[in-house]
Amino acid sequence: MTAPPIVLTRRRPLSERIIESALFLSAVLGVLTTAGIILVLAAQTFEFFFEVSPIEFLTGTKWSAAIRPYAFGILPLVSGTLLVAGIAMIVAVPLGLLSAILLADYASPRVRTIVKPMLETIAGIPTIVFGFFAINFLAPQILQPLLGKSNIGTFSALSGGIVVGLLVTPLIASISEDAMRAVPRGMREGAYAMGATKFEVVRKVVLPAAVSGIMASIILAMSRAIGETMAVSLAVGDKPQLTFDPTESVQTMTSFIAQIAIGETAQGSIQFKSLFAVGAALFVITLVLNLISGWVVRRFRTVY
Amino acid sequence: MTAAAPTATPPLSPIATPFEPALARRKLTGTLFYGACLAAIGILLLALAILLFDVLSRGLPWLDLQFLTGVPSRRPAQAGVLPALVGSLEIGLIVGLITFPIGVAAAIYFTEYARDTRLNRLLQTNISNLAGVPSIIYGILGLAVFVRLLQLGPTVMAASLTLTLLILPIVIIASIEAIRAVPSAQREGAYALGATRWQMVRRSVFPAAAPGIMTGIILAMARAIGEAAPLILIGGLGFVTFLPSPFSAGYTVLPLQIFDWAKRPQDDFASISSAAIIVILVLMLLLNGLALVVRARLSRHIQW
């Protein structure tokens, strides 16, 4: 009649512990990836610095990896990258923020059902398509008629920047919209009760309260724009030059890496090693931006 | 009101005067701002429409059975996209198959097993930072580790492993969100019935989180198929006239085939490039549709 005794063991069964270890190993893969990236970039960059001094690399104003005399001063690639990313931000910040505000505060459910999927569609288009759009439509059919064929070619920082701006707009829009939606309704209603118009509510209540998310979205978009490769490789050309003239053809850090990888560059050559050095610089720049973005979120977050 | 001196009180409260007459102007500002928001969305919508119209009008006439089943050729009229299409599908499939177990395992570890230790926090921060590393950097890592160190060479397998590392952080983050959304009553119910931790995860949490996890993985596969930058470094930009197999050298993918054709000056190559863009966009649409269907099917039995 007595029930069988229930045996309670303190130790967890072996199978449970094996499973936990396996799960932990998967979680550690990310650290291995990071370590791999840093090791590979550091080792090859170190070798590169045997042939080109770090000072020349970081402060040189001439980059010529293909044509003699070779010069490996990264500033032209950095200026090209910043020029394209800067133009992209001029396009993406207003478009992204205004769309986010529209979605968070103005849009009726009907408008939302049109705008949301549209932004997701833009985010889902492979970036190479934007590059194709830049050289086949934007440059020849919009920019050249507008600015004159003698002033702007098929390849320019301007057309590259515009398409990169378009492709990072959804990123700004969706992160900022999330931040604005997280602002409690009560704060908005308080402002309305004081007699504020909708625009005043947005400007004086919603935007200040959501500022950490908005700033983070802009920094992340900047980092995406700096790291974008395919659209930029097609659109901006391959002329490394230290200029801030948007109508010029430039070369970015990413498009240089792509160019070397496409070309028949001998492994172990100085050009090939320079690819890793530029990669290392790119990695550091985007990592710093991402860390700043994370810091901004933590530092300026308002908890309700 | 505190400013009101006890002696001579002004006839009107000082804030009353600037308030009333400005209402019309404040409303106008609001309307103008709303107009700006609509204009931003309008510009995005227009850009998307022009992009799609341009691609469709160029590419559709070239999109026929011969294009879909043919191989690349120096004559645009005879060129086809089959090797690139097969390459993309193979890579998408392999990436999905590898990413699924690892990504889900890591996400389960972080949500269900990891205690709040410094190591676990570091692992998680690392994952979110990896999600911000430019894709071309993963190409450099893949070149050094998979192509050279593991001697895989420029193959579909090396490309798949590289893209797996690229999308793992995204899959892990999406899966963590899906698992966190499962109510804790699910877990407590399983424990109350005497389940071990793993039994609880496998029978209770995982089925409930499956719709979110599967959606995340399918969208990540779409991302892998659309992402070409790392593959430039893994030898993906070749003139490939055969169907690639996972471990033998030589393959290409749709975005790189588009890149290759788009770079050529002849107009006809721009047209077949557009046709290939249509193929990849349709592929993206199909994968997004698949994600919706899978989500709907898996969440049929879930009621909270």
- Looking at this predicted complex, what is its ipTM? 0.90
Task: Give domain status of residue A194, yes or no.
Answer: yes
Angle at A74 between CA A73 and CA A77, to 5 degrees: 130
Cβ neighbours of residue A218 under 8 Å, at least 6 residues apart?
A89, A93, A172
Asked whether the beta carbons of residue B145 and residue A40 sit closer than 8 angstroms, the reply is yes
Asked whether the beta carbons of residue B37 and residue A135 sit closer than 8 angstroms, the reply is no
- Which of A40, A129, A258 is nearest residue B136 as measured by Cβ atoms? A258
Dihedral Cα A227, A104, B37, A90, nearest 10 deg: -20
Domain containing residue A177: CATH number: 1.10.3720.10
Cβ neighbours of residue A299 under 8 Å, at least 6 residues apart?
A212
Cα gap A101→A106, rounded to integer Å: 7
Whether B160 and B95 have beta carbons less than 8 Å apart is answered as yes
Strands A63-64 and A71-72: antiparallel
A36, A55, A84, B182 from A252: Cα distances, Å: 24, 20, 8, 44
Per run of 10 residues, the mean pLDDT along chain A (length 304 residues) is 62 83 91 94 93 90 84 92 96 96 90 84 92 92 89 91 96 93 92 91 93 92 94 91 90 93 82 93 94 86 68
Which candidate, B216, B233, B237, B114, places its Cα nearest to that of B167? B216
- Chain B residues lying within 8 Å of A294, measured CB to CB: 125, 128-129
Buried b (16+ CB within 10 A) or exposed e, B136-151: bbbbbbbbbbbbeeee
Token pair 């949500």 is found at: B111
- Which of B40, B109, B141 is nearest residue A94 as measured by Cβ atoms? B40
**Interface mutation vs chain B, best among A14, A31, A33, most B CBs within 10 Å:** A33
A21, A62, A106, A187, A190 from A196: Cα distances, Å: 57, 55, 15, 12, 9
- Chain B residues lying within 8 Å of A29, measured CB to CB: 102, 106, 168
Residue type, A290: N
The yes or no reply on domain B67-298 and CATH 3.10.20.30 is no
Asked whether the beta carbons of residue A128 and residue B237 sit closer than 8 angstroms, the reply is no
To 10 degrees, what angle do helices B206-226 and B156-180 make? Answer: 140
Given this model, what pLDDT does residue B2 score? 46
Task: Give domain status of residue A16, yes or no.
Answer: no
Task: Give domain status of residue A224, yes or no.
Answer: yes
For chain A, the domain total comes to 1
Task: Give domain status of residue A206, yes or no.
Answer: yes
Cα gap B279→A273, rounded to integer Å: 36
Task: Give domain status of residue A93, yes or no.
Answer: yes
The nearest CA of chain A is from the CA of B18 a distance in Å of 14
Given this model, what pLDDT does residue A299 score? 83
Given this model, what pLDDT does residue A108 score? 87
Whether B256 and B88 have beta carbons less than 8 Å apart is answered as no
- Chain A residues lying within 8 Å of B37, measured CB to CB: 98-99, 101-102, 106
- Which of A41, A94, A124 is nearest residue B284 as measured by Cβ atoms? A124
Taking residue A59's Cβ as centre, other Cβ atoms within 10 Å add up to 11
Given this model, what pLDDT does residue B5 score? 45
How confident is the prediction along chain B (304 residues), in pLDDT tens digits per residue? 444 444 554 555 555 555 556 788 888 999 999 999 999 999 999 999 999 999 999 999 999 988 998 888 888 888 899 999 999 999 999 999 999 999 999 999 999 998 888 998 899 889 988 988 999 999 999 999 999 899 998 999 999 999 999 999 999 999 999 999 999 998 999 999 989 899 999 999 999 999 999 999 998 999 999 998 999 999 887 788 888 888 888 899 999 999 999 988 888 899 999 999 999 999 999 999 998 898 888 887 776 6
Task: Give domain status of residue A90, yes or no.
Answer: yes
Which segments of chain A are extended strands (E)? 63-64, 71-72
By the 10 Å C-beta count (0-12 exposed, 13-18 middle, 19+ buried), A67 is classed as exposed
A63 φ, ψ (degrees, to nearest 5): -125, 115
Task: Give domain status of residue A79, yes or no.
Answer: yes
Task: Give domain status of residue A26, yes or no.
Answer: no
Token pair 């993918």 is found at: B253
Given this model, what pLDDT does residue A151 score? 85
Range of the domain at A80: 75-300
- Which of A13, A44, A106 is nearest residue B37 as measured by Cβ atoms? A106
Cα gap A153→A139, rounded to integer Å: 7
- Chain B residues lying within 8 Å of A30, measured CB to CB: 106, 123, 126-127, 130, 168-169, 172
pTM score: 0.89
Asked whether the beta carbons of residue A286 and residue B255 sit closer than 8 angstroms, the reply is no
3-state helix, strand, coil in chain A (%, to 5): 75, 0, 25
